Structure 1
């Protein structure tokens, strides 16, 4: 046999040996212990706290059924606003979150059908569940006022719930 042919045949057999014996080990299934990895945390953009994370209570007292006009019985929504590391370069937005009435986008539902509580920001209606830009150094004056849909209202205690949220955009 020619020396060149022998060298070529030896190289060819070596390549075949590598393909059949070495490569399958590259795809071998790994075995051993497994461990679940749980990672958690809270990602916040400069969190803000309203009323020191406490409840805000508004008491309307006795409200005359026939006197509800969206102006009478208005009450201040007294709150404090504190943001960690305020950022003048970012928009600070406030949102009144709640069940919006079907007849007034600026009012939240009460437990009395046809009676809502309108929310005003600096005298103008707030659209419930829609954020609005505020100035951290001069937070808006918020007020609440009973509003009616025009249906006949009946005597009874009323209540409503909403969430006031402030966050940087």
Structure 2
């Protein structure tokens, strides 16, 4: 997901620049019962277990599910 070039570092506060990631999942009809688990993996920041480390030191992207931080690497 691109944030563009117009990010003011002084305005990064965990609320500004927040974006929703829309996704859809389609399961075809099946005689089997499906169970789905979501797990996000990647390099975690040293300051937030729910934030992916970016290419900028000290800057991470927090992933949220239903408004709550999603702990990276932990199935939910």
TM-score by length of 1: 0.40
Q: CA RMSD in A?
A: 1.6
Aligned to 2:2, which of 47, 55, 59? 59
In structure 1, the residue matched to 2:47 is 103
- What is the number of equivalent residue pairs in this alignment? 73
Helix, strand or coil for the counterpart of 2:63? strand
Runs of 4+ in structure 1 off by over 6 angstroms are: none
Q: Which runs of 5+ in 1 are unaligned?
A: 1-57, 133-169
Q: Which structure has the highest strand share of the two? A: 1
SS at match of 2:10: helix
The yes-or-no answer on 1:92 pairing with 2:36 is yes
- CA distance, structure 2, for counterparts of residue 110 and residue 83 of structure 1: 32
TM-score, normalised by the number of residues in structure 2: 0.83
Equivalent residue number for residue 73 of structure 2:
129
Question: Is 1:75–2:30 an aligned residue pair?
Answer: no
Q: How does 1:1-169 map to 2 (within 5 A)?
A: 58-61=1-4, 62-84=6-28, 85=30, 87=33, 91-132=35-76
Choose between structure 1 and 2: higher helix proportion: 1
Seen in structure 2, the aligned counterparts of structure 1 residues 103 and 94 have a Cα distance that, compared at 3 Å, is same
Structure number with larger C-alpha Rg: 1
In the alignment, the residues of structure 2 paired with residue 114 and residue 122 of structure 1 have an alpha-carbon distance, to the nearest angstrom, of 25
Q: Relative CO higher for 1 or 2, CA cutoff 8 Å, sep ≥ 6? A: 1
Distance (Å, rounded) in 2 between the aligned partners of 1:114 and 1:131? 25
2:45 is paired with a residue whose SS is: coil
